[in-house]
Amino acid sequence: MAQASIGIIGGSGVYDIAGLENKRWQRVESAFGEPSDELLLGELNGIKLAFLPRHGRGHRIPPSEINFRANIDALKRAGVSDVISVSAVGSLREGLPPGTFVIVDQFIDRTFAREKSFFGTGLVAHVSMAHPVCHRLGDHLEAAARSAGIPVVRGGTYLVMEGPQFSSLAESELYRGWGCDVIGMTNMPEAKLAREAELCYATVGMVTDYDCWHPNHDDVTVEQIIGVLLSNADKARTLVQQAVPRLGHDATAGACGCRSVLQHALITAPEARDPALVARLQAVAGRVLK
Catalytic residues: 209, 211
Euclidean distance between CA atoms 252 and 273, whole angstroms: 34
Euclidean distance between CA atoms 46 and 54, whole angstroms: 24
HEC-encoded secondary structure of the chain? CCCCCEEEEECCCCCCCCCCEEEEEECCCECCECCCCCEEEEEECCEEEEEEECCCCCCCCCHHHCCHHHHHHHHHHCCCCEEEEEEEEEECCCCCCCCCEEECCEEEEECCCCCCCCCECCECECCCCCCCCCHHHHHHHHHHHHHCCCCEEECCEEEEECCCCCCCHHHHHHHHHCCCCEEECCCCCHHHHHHHCCCEEEEEEEEEEECCCCCCHHHCCHHHHHHHHHHHHHHHHHHHHHHHHHHHCCCCHHHCHHHHCCCCCECCCHHHCCHHHHHHCHHHHHHHHC
Identity of the residue numbered 115? E
User: Residue 108, CB half-sphere, CA atoms under 13 Å: how many?
Assistant: 16
Instruction: Answer for the pair 207, 161: CB distance below 8 angstroms, yes or no.
Output: no
User: Residue 229, CB half-sphere, CA atoms under 13 Å: how many?
Assistant: 16
